[in-house]
Structure 1
Amino acid sequence: MSDLSDLLNLDAEFSAEELALRDRVREFVDRRIRPNIAEWYEQAVFPVEIVPEMAELGLLGMHISGYGCAGRSATEYGIAMQELEAGDSGLRTFVSVQGSLAMSAIAKHGSEEQKQRYLPEMAAGRVIGCFGLTEPEAGSDPAGMATVARRDGDDWIITGSKRWIGLGTIANIAIVWARTDEGVRGFIVPTETEGFSAQVLEPKLSMRASIQTELHFDEVRVSEAQRLPGATSLRAPFECLNEARYGIAWGAMGAARDAFEAAARYAGERKQFDKPLAAFQLTQKKLVDMALEIVKGQLIALRLGRLKDAGKLERHMISVGKLNNCRVAIEICREARTVLGGNGILLENAPLRHANNLESVRTYEGTDEVHTLILGQHLTGENAFA
């Protein structure tokens, strides 16, 4: 089941179990996402009805061990994200927000009681979580957050707002990061709590089959039992962000691969000047350039996965994957659209939808500029953020 863009036979680098997982997720995407994604995208609908099916596949918190989670490897998680994003970035984002952000926050920093209470329900898709870090005035600089939590007896009172928060209007719980007198802390906030509200951010030109929201906290009271005890600094949410960034390095290549395959099919079928587009030198150059960038990006993602599984993945390495793979994926999708000509702007064809989605993927979990400076600091030893 090799892909057309697999110029180096990368399938040989995966185990039979990894390939079987890939094929199961790919079948799900082919059966449930591809036939419907154009309608979902056009109508700006996130299909909540497929959440139980994602849970059944073990995709929610799949890299977490125990508590009803699948306990799959980092590489297997990456493979699944690549296949999901070949369907649509917005649907991969759901799995990322639920698993790599909300569930990871509880798994990494929660108490045993919190893990037992929430993780099995989240893995089953019965409880949906969101992750509230970014704010209206604090995007690339989360240290500038204005949301605060103050002690009131045995409780905490949270005041502030968050912006560009995936799933906020359908979430049952929100992982909320706030500034306290003791530093940044994390809280599990049930969305039914008095003073909590969420509103959808729309209309959007990107990620239309997903939900992005703004959260507001008007004197929201939570108990000490809802605080994440292991989260004692800004490092805690960044550990969760790195999980999501890792998955994006794989996912972006899924979108790129899908756009490339659409262009290659079209080039083989569409005839101009009495021969298929694929017979023209310029078209072949476009396809070759796209395939080369895809296989290079997949090699980066695979290397990150093997390092992560070995416990040797470092922060700057994740930035290599996030920066490179998002950047080249957008260019591949745009180039694929040119092969389709005017037909490329129709929603029935995937490349421009992928390109539009990737504008968001390229921005969230660290912009190009942020990851460039992370890598610049690694190379020079100099912090150029401020």
Structure 2
Amino acid sequence: MSELRKKWITAPLLKLIKKVLPPISETEREAMEAGEVWWDAQLLSGKPDWDQLLSMGPPQLSEEEQAFLDGPVEELCRMVDDWKISFEDRDISPEIWEFLKKERFFGIIIPKEYGGLGFSPTAHGEIVTKVSTRSTCVGVTVMVPNSLGPGELLMAHGTDEQKQYYLPRLADGREIPCFGLTSPEAGSDAAAMVDRGVVCYGDYKGEKTLGMRVDWHKRYITLGPVATVLGLAFKLYDPDHLLGDKEALGITVALVPTDTEGVTIGQRHLPAMQAFQNGPNWGVDVFIPMEWIIGGRENVGRGWYMLMSALAAGRGISLPSLSTGGAKMAARTTGAYARIREQFGIPIGKFEGVQRRLAEIASVAYVLDSAHKTTTRALDAGHKPAVVTAIMKAHATHGLRQAINDAMDIHAGKGIMDGPLNYLGNVYRAVPVAITVEGANILTRSLMIFGQGAIRCHPYLFEEMLAAENPDTKEGVEALDKLLPKHMLFQVKTFIRGVFHGWTGGLFANSPRGVGYAAKYYRQMDRYSAVLTLVTEISLLSLGGGLKRKEQISGRLGDVLSQLYLLSCTLKRFKDDGSPREDRPLLEFAMRAGLHNIEVSLMEVFQNFPRRFLGQLMHFLAMPWGHSIRTASDRQSHACAELLMEPSETRDRLTRGVFLGNPGDGVDLVEQAFNKVCATESLRDKLKKGGIRAFNREAIDAGLERELISGEEAAELREAAEAVNMAIQVDHFDHLGTRES
């Protein structure tokens, strides 16, 4: 019976699957095999196990890591003058470069045995976050050597000799690394890479040595202009078969000292008015010994897998840390500015239009910080979730854009006029850079998150695709024969859960124990996990390989998966913080916004599904009542905005890790004015009761003269008014652009 089933059912079905499902290219396969699945797979199971996520607990720093944050990181932030770096010198000062090397900022992730700090991903993320709140240029300079680059590749794949030589030199800054992947012709598309090497013999240290002759042209290489060692990706060929029978050996990664003959370091790029070092490089007929390949000869052709493995972790720390820092800084400063800046005698933060923007900034900062903490905690535990880190990169940088745009709108002229007092301008200019690098967000959203995520996270699909690669073999038929019953059972359960929770609005969905007030949101998360899994199964069955070309559909489904992940992290963070009652406005606003976005994305999938009948059927099965989640009410927006405009534990908890500035700089002036305005609010009320609404020296003197306030109170108010006057100032320049002191 079993053999008949395989012959008449499984074998024909396997050939059909091969026609329907998209073929897997070598680079796609390596990308999907690199890293791993984690909570993303739970979210695409239709029935997430919340205990798996919540049992991880909050991220923790060791005493040594906390001391580094309180010591060298704080000192570095005090040393930085971002205006000088970005607009005067266009580079980090020699003193800061030396400090970064001395304190081993370039060796955050390198183990102590090699002279590095050996810190956890959580510590790595917190360091980059805090530095980025002071300067995106310095943040990027610290970030790059510790994310995708030679250090991480060496630790994971290098030979003992390579580790012993390079890691101590990278840790203490004797070597400055960069990584060369992006080519003018192909961008970051490895399959289209034109940089190539040919296996041959050449002269190395006076001896005939087996190696490669390599030609390349790379650009957009961060730290490239100052690098001493280049991690180089290229396609390797062996036409003379010196290594074996294959001629095209695949993408290979080598370490090349930049002073090697034939290597040219080009002049700098200037990315979006950012001062971090970035530029092109070339190589013409460069001889590279085999021993320079990371991991040696046995890693010939494994470069793309190595890169994807490294990116699976590094992408979840680097730009998400920078984005989280920027969003938290925007929340802290914009809340303070909205409190001290007045129009018509009242703080601008009291206007409902401004309050909505403040609430959105606070919500973005809360969600990004929650997701950032959860992701680095997962990396601490040894996970390398490739889809999750792609979600983090794309949505953290997009969230930063949202937050900084809203912050600029509220600051108005204060945020537009450049100068040392402007603490938003450089972050605003950094946003396009963050969104573009490490995988442009458009492609990450439309192709990677769901396109690869649906395959990687599905319990059976990837194995079925691998079986379909060999439809005429006994092994392929055997593999599919074992998978089919399991997949069919999964589909039945998915259908039942998706339809039941869709029709009942998640009323009977599960929520973990001990979550109290937040239980209603866990039920909605369970509901939409089931709905997404149902829609995914129908989409894959009906469109097959065509789904890969429907980037709008794939992108919207990716948005649903992304929102489920971000909101999961937000719920976890709320529980980790002890479910504080005063934080509820943040949770309410964030959850309602995210769940509403999920519904919008699903409705757009149904409305635009290529097979109209199936789109209508999915709508009927999964969301028969249409939109059911409302965004936050005006009352909830007000409560959320108020959290940014009053001193509180919630405000401090939300913006923890923001560098509050050196005395006299923009952030410090706004922070000091905020504290003094809040401290004298009761005295202002005395003036207002007496009919005096203005807040200046003349108004205060009038209040004193009318005995509305005492002399001591008048002095406090004058000090607060002067602090506000200083905080709202912008810089002045002469007609040539020279700043006036």
Verify same fold: TM over 0.5.
yes
- Say whether residues 1:237 and 2:284 are aligned partners: no
Q: Name which of 267, 275, 292 aligns with 1:226.
A: 292
- Say whether residues 1:156 and 2:230 are aligned partners: no
The AA in structure 2 aligned to 1:104 is E
Number of equivalences: 373
Q: Spell out, residue by residue over 1:347-375, the C-alpha distance to the aligned partner (whole angstroms, 9 max, x if none).
A: 33122310211210111001112322222
Deviation at residue 131 of structure 1 after TM alignment:
0.3
List aligned pairs for 1:1-386, cutoff 5 A.
14-15=60-61, 17=63, 19-24=66-71, 26-33=73-80, 36-43=81-88, 44-65=90-111, 66-100=113-147, 101-153=149-201, 154-181=210-237, 182-206=249-273, 208-229=274-295, 231=299, 232-247=302-317, 248-347=319-418, 348-372=421-445, 373-381=447-455, 384=548
Distance 1:252 1:283 in 2: 22
- Alignment check: 8 A CA contact 1:173 1:190 kept: yes
Distance 1:27 1:140 in 2: 35
Of stretches 311-320 and 126-135 in structure 1, the one that deviates more from structure 2 is: 311-320
Distance 1:25 1:364 in 2: 28
The SS at the match of 2:226 is coil
Cα distance change on mapping 1:13 and 1:221 into 2, 3 Å: closer
Of stretches 303-312 and 87-96 in structure 1, the one that deviates more from structure 2 is: 87-96
Distance 2:271 2:391 in 1: 28
The AA in structure 2 aligned to 1:187 is A
Distance 2:282 2:379 in 1: 36
Deviation at residue 25 of structure 1 after TM alignment:
5.6
The SS at the match of 2:286 is strand
Q: What is the root-mean-square deviation in Å for CA atoms of aligned residues?
A: 2.3
The SS at the match of 2:548 is coil
Deviation at residue 134 of structure 1 after TM alignment:
0.8
The SS at the match of 2:414 is helix
Deviation at residue 296 of structure 1 after TM alignment:
0.7
Distance 2:303 2:62 in 1: 41
Deviation at residue 126 of structure 1 after TM alignment:
1.7
The SS at the match of 1:179 is strand
Cα distance change on mapping 1:286 and 1:143 into 2, 3 Å: same
The AA in structure 1 aligned to 2:342 is K
Deviation at residue 272 of structure 1 after TM alignment:
1.9
TM-score w.r.t. length of structure 2: 0.48
- Alignment check: 8 A CA contact 2:120 2:380 kept: yes
The AA in structure 2 aligned to 1:313 is K
Unpaired segments of 5 or more residues in structure 1?
A: 1-11
Distance 2:73 2:359 in 1: 24
TM-score w.r.t. length of structure 1: 0.89
Deviation at residue 29 of structure 1 after TM alignment:
4.5
Q: Spell out, residue by residue over 1:183-216, the C-alpha distance to the aligned partner (whole angstroms, 9 max, x if none).
A: 111111111111111223434424x220111111
Cα distance change on mapping 1:352 and 1:340 into 2, 3 Å: same
Distance 1:311 1:93 in 2: 24
- Alignment check: 8 A CA contact 1:96 1:244 kept: no
- Alignment check: 8 A CA contact 2:330 2:361 kept: no
Distance 2:145 2:62 in 1: 27
Distance 1:286 1:21 in 2: 35
Q: Spell out, residue by residue over 1:302-332, the C-alpha distance to the aligned partner (whole angstroms, 9 max, x if none).
A: 1111111112331101112111111011110
More strand by share: 1
Distance 2:94 2:155 in 1: 24
The AA in structure 1 aligned to 2:265 is A
The AA in structure 1 aligned to 2:116 is C
Of stretches 272-281 and 324-333 in structure 1, the one that deviates more from structure 2 is: 272-281
Cα distance change on mapping 1:85 and 1:216 into 2, 3 Å: same
Distance 1:175 1:15 in 2: 31
- Alignment check: 8 A CA contact 1:29 1:87 kept: no
Distance 2:422 2:67 in 1: 28
Matching residue of 2:507: none
